[in-house]
Amino acid sequence: MSRSLRVVAYAVNGAGAGHLVRLVAIARWLRRYAAWSGVRLEVFFLTSSEADGLPLSERFASFKLPSKTMVAEARIDKTTYLALAKQWVWQSIALLRPDLFVVDTFPAGAFGELVSALDLCRRRAIVYRPMLEEHARRPEVQALLPLYDRILIPESEDHGGVLVPAAARGRSRFVGPVAVRDRVELPSREESRARLGLPAEARVAYVSAGGGGDAHAGRQLAAGVEALLAVDPELRVVLGAGPLHRGRLPRGPRVTPLVHEVAAELAPAFDLAVSAAGYNAFVELMLAGVPTVFVPQPKIADDQAARALRAVRAGAARVVEDGAPAAELAAAARALLEPAAAHAASLAARALVPRSCARVAAAELLRLCLPAPEVDRAEAAVTDALLGRAGALGVPEELLVELMHALDGDGGHASPARELGSLLRAAGAIVELARAEGAPLETLGAAAHDAVRRLRDASVEDRRSAIERVVLRERGAAGGAGEARPC
């Protein structure tokens, strides 16, 4: 890869994890498209979220600043912290000098520090989540949006409710809802329950209060668990406290707490959810088709009540006010667990959020830095079919991309779009052969490129045959080495 692209993702916020989750979701697709385009991608996260383990779990580097919440609890002087935080962000951006700088929601930054830092970035973009109008109208929002080269709105255009100044409307794009997992990446209901150690035939409900940083999260979790355990003596409850939660959690023989698991990845296990209506929880539950009782939380900028009402109108959810009696919450949950109601609500949820559009957002960002035809080609190649095949084979998507490039002979750009499917099938067959023959998968991509290095005008089948011969030869070499090794 002779070209490189450095991206800095800014997820500095207060008590939530939503900013970080959205940017991680988009960065995963930036990496996929860059791999197809032959671009060496460097992604750095600047974050104050106490959920900073998320970038690590997705193989992204991150730099961590203490959150405002943690600073207050640690009794650190606020003035000292603000001065340090502003300089930390500015110096980090100055040292990294990103080709692309991506901010979530707040154009001025958490401390107003980005005004003087944006000039250090070659291209600038913002993921502009819908917010309460009184917050969106603030000068530090409207006056700074025109400083960004691209404004990505992670909602469908028909939902509206996004205030953008006239000077920036030409740079705005409604990309659709963004989730950290695509539907094709979700495991089956049976597999999800097996991961959680739950019976396949049980009825399972999920309880969440968002990222766990809300002041009332502990009380909301306890209320949700209490109400659900009263609904059905056989109901199993999965407790998603969130990465920011601290303190005691409800316990019991029918309560399964999530520890390091990603709730979005296990959503197919749930027959029902009781959850706050934050952006990410809403999108993840609706995407997975989970009927939900939403308990909206009051936020400074986010209108959770309006978001939950959308799901109610679609027939996917019910809403119960925070602090409502346990009997009211239990009655809403019981109604959604009725088989006919559950089936209808699940279908409505899937229709409300039919797919994650993180890939759309990533493509829009890459078009700021790469030629549009290259990005178009990557979009055509890296599809649900590729993700599904990689998941079924249990290999990184990048390995299939490497093999498809080796088979194609021109970095994935020679074959027309109609032939991409055949390249994927051939790449998958090579992986299956390598696994059956005991050849090392970790070096398979490099071996494939070496095998076809001199086959400039060869057909795909000739290239495949050459790669398969290498696989068989490596099997033989591995077998011989094993036989020669003394006991």
Q: For residues 115-138, give the mean pLDDT.
A: 93
Tokens of 191: 């597999």
DSSP string, 345-365: HHHHHHHHS-S--HHHHHHHH
How much is the average pLDDT of 17-33? 94
- Going through 276-378 in order, the beta strands assigned E by DSSP cover 292-294, 317-319
Q: What is the pLDDT of residue 482?
A: 41
CB of 182 closer than 8 Å to CB of 355: yes
Phi first, then psi, for residue 143 (nearest 5°) are: -70, -25
Q: Are 227 and 268 contained in the same domain?
A: yes
Alpha-carbon distance of 43 to 45, in angstroms, equals: 7
In-domain check, residue 265: yes
Of the residues 137, 155, 174, the one at which a domain ends: 174
Q: Please say which residue of 154, 174, 194 terminates a domain.
A: 174
> Is the domain of 298 the same as that of 157?
no
- Taking alpha carbons only, the member of 131, 293, 178 closest to residue 224 is 293
Do 188 and 170 lie in one domain? The reply is: no
- CATH number of the domain within which 318 lies: 3.40.50.2000
8: which residues sit within 8 A by CB, 6+ positions away? Answer: 43, 44, 45, 46, 92, 93, 96, 98, 100, 101, 102, 121
pLDDT value of residue 460: 87
Residue 289: alpha-carbon gap to chain centroid: 17
Residue 337 and residue 391 in one domain: no
Query: How many whole angstroms separate alpha carbon 145 and alpha carbon 151?
Result: 8
Instruction: Report the sign of the C-alpha dihedral through residues 385, 386, 391, 394, in that order.
Output: positive
DSSP alpha helix (H) spans, 158-277: 189-196, 217-231, 263-266
Residue 374 lies in a domain: no
User: Does the pLDDT value for residue 485 go beyond 60?
Assistant: no
pLDDT band for position 138 (50/70/90)? very high
* pLDDT for the residue 398: 92
- Provide the pLDDT confidence category of residue 486 given band limits of 50, 70 and 90: very low
Number of domains in the chain: 3
Tell me the pLDDT band of 172, cut-offs 50, 70 and 90.
Answer: very high
Enclosing H/E stretch for 101: strand 100-104
Q: In angstroms, what is the C-alpha Rg of the chain?
A: 24
DSSP H helices, 128-216, are 133-136, 139-142, 189-196
- Judged on CB neighbours under 10 Å (0-12, 13-18, 19+), 29 is buried
Residue 362, in any domain of the structure: no
User: Domain limits at 65?
Assistant: 3-174
Q: What's this model's pTM, rounded to 2 decimal places?
A: 0.91
Cα-based distances in Å from 113 to 84, 139, 359, 362, 420: 11, 15, 29, 25, 45
230 and 137 part of one domain: no
Residue scoring higher pLDDT (282 or 212): 282
The answer to whether residue 365 sits within a structural domain is: no
- Are 126 and 199 members of one domain? no
Domain boundary residue, one of 304, 333, 352: 352
Can you tell me the mean pLDDT for 145-152? 97
Q: Residue 418: what pLDDT? A: 63
| Per-residue confidence (pLDDT) for residue 480, from 0 to 100 | 47
Query: Per-residue pLDDT for 362 more than 80?
Result: yes
CA–CA distances in Å: residue 135 to residues 140, 143, 303, 367? 9, 13, 11, 30
Average pLDDT over residues 383-395: 95
Instruction: Give CA angle at 482 (479, 485), nearest 5°.
Output: 150
Q: Which residue has the tokens 């049976």?
A: 190
Between residues 212 and 58, which one has the greater pLDDT?
58
**160 Cβ contact partners less than 8 Å away, ≥ 6 residues apart:** none
Query: How many other C-beta atoms can be found within 10 angstroms of the C-beta atom of residue 384?
Result: 13
Distance of CA 37 to the CA centre of its chain: 21
Q: What is the tens place of the pLDDT at every residue in 67-99?
A: 887 888 889 999 999 999 999 999 999 999 999
- 409 band by pLDDT with thresholds 50, 70 and 90: confident
Exposure b/e, 93-125, CB count within 10 A at least 16 = b: beebebbbbbbbbbbbbbbebbeebbebbebbb
- Is-contact 221 249, C-beta < 8 A? yes
Q: What is the dihedral of CA 240, 245, 247, 250, to 10 degrees?
A: -10
Quick check: 209 pLDDT over 70?
A: yes
Q: What percent of the chain has pLDDT above 70?
A: 92
| CB < 8 Å & 24+ apart, contacts of 215-218 | 215/15, 216/297, 216/322, 217/241, 217/242, 217/245, 218/245, 218/247, 218/248, 218/249
